[in-house]
Amino acid sequence: MSAEKKLLLDVKDLKVHFSIASKSAWPWSKPANLKAVDGVNVRLYEGETLGVVGESGCGKSTFARAIIGLVEATEGEVVWLGQDVIKMKEVERRNTRKEMQMIFQDPLASLNPRMTVGDIIAEPLRTFFPQLSKEEVKDRVKEMMMKVGLLPNVINRYPHEFSGGQCQRIGIARALILNPKMIICDEPVSALDVSIQAQVVNLLKELQKELGLSLVFIAHDLSVVKHISDRVLVMYLGNAVELGESEALFADPKHPYTRALMSAVPIPDPKIERAKKIEMLEGDLPSPINPPSGCVFRTRCPQATDECAQRKPTIQGNDTHAVSCLHAAV
């Protein structure tokens, strides 16, 4: 991407496979192997936002959780500031977690209903900085609440007393309280109304600019991804099929799957919207337990050939634009 910006995260051939018990009545039946993430490579630079898109079940959330350590990786490397997080001892990994935080999809479900807002936001501080006094913790919490648009006088209220948008602001404050270098946003606006979505996305952009954050932003809404992302990673059935700078990717997608996704994005101009060609995908997403041979997208691809069934493509290109397709070039 750039020689000027500092490389924070380098994910190399990341795989997350789950062993699924067989439903067969025979006790000697082998468990199935579900390939949730199957060899993803991507980099994240300082101050950058990486959007991650794809259909439900393509492995976006599992990929994000494997990076931060909430899901155990089967193979590969997650190199954070030059060190492989997967190979770290628990003490080292714990210290690294201060720099990598997460915002979850369901704002209310991610907050403990028995804790006040002040205690929820302060919990990371008490975990990592037990030496801080109660007053110091309270002052930091109030300062962070102001940054995310919450009044300090609600510090003793409980999550059920807030709207979805306010609960997400609480989640953002909790993620920011440790001054992390990177935040993973796992569909942070999907459960919110459209107007509230815009507020939360704009808040994230403002905080990113102010604090120099790097974001991994997972979403289904491609309009939101286009608005907030510097680069976009497109995933299909646990594989990275295309990676590129946001404007270039939306203007000229190379992979047939990416083209189908981009064609579904609404255009504000009614004339252009009516005239555009929508590329429909036929068939359903294959099972990650039994993926197609060769290219995983071939069963739904209009350009598929016999070669696609025989040979699995690897992603070719660079951080600016890369594509995994036997019939596409960057």
pLDDT digits (tens, 9 = 90+) for 87-123: 998 888 888 889 999 999 888 889 999 999 999 999 9
Bridge partners of 322, per DSSP, are: 243, 317
Cβ partners under 8 Å of residue 57, min gap 6:
237, 285, 288
- Determine the length of the chain: 330
Interval 66-75: pLDDT, tens: 999 999 999 9
Interval 14-34: pLDDT, tens: 999 998 877 665 666 788 889
Residue 264 in this model has a pLDDT that exceeds 90:
no
| Alpha carbon distances (Å) from 137 to 26, 118, 157, 227, 243 | 57, 9, 17, 35, 41
Tell me what percent of the chain is helix, strand and coil, each rounded to the nearest 5: 35, 20, 45
**Pairwise pLDDT comparison (193 vs 37), residue with the higher score:** 37
Three-state secondary structure call for residue 83: strand
The sign one gets for the Cα dihedral 139, 212, 265, 286 is: negative
Kindly provide the residue ranges of all beta strands, DSSP E only, lying in the chain, ordered along the sequence.
Answer: 7-20, 32-45, 49-53, 75-80, 83-84, 100-103, 182-186, 214-218, 231-236, 239-245, 316-317, 321-323
234: pLDDT confidence band, cut at 50, 70 and 90? very high
Q: In this structure, are residues 116 and 154 in contact, taking their beta carbons and an 8 Å threshold?
A: no
Interval 49-95: pLDDT, tens: 999 999 888 999 999 999 999 999 999 999 999 999 999 988 888 88
Report the first-to-last Cα separation within the chain, whole angstroms. 15
Three-state secondary structure call for residue 216: strand
In the prediction, which pLDDT does 295 show? 93
The domain made up of 1-20+32-99+181-194+212-330 is a member of CATH 1.10.357.10: no
330: pLDDT confidence band, cut at 50, 70 and 90? low
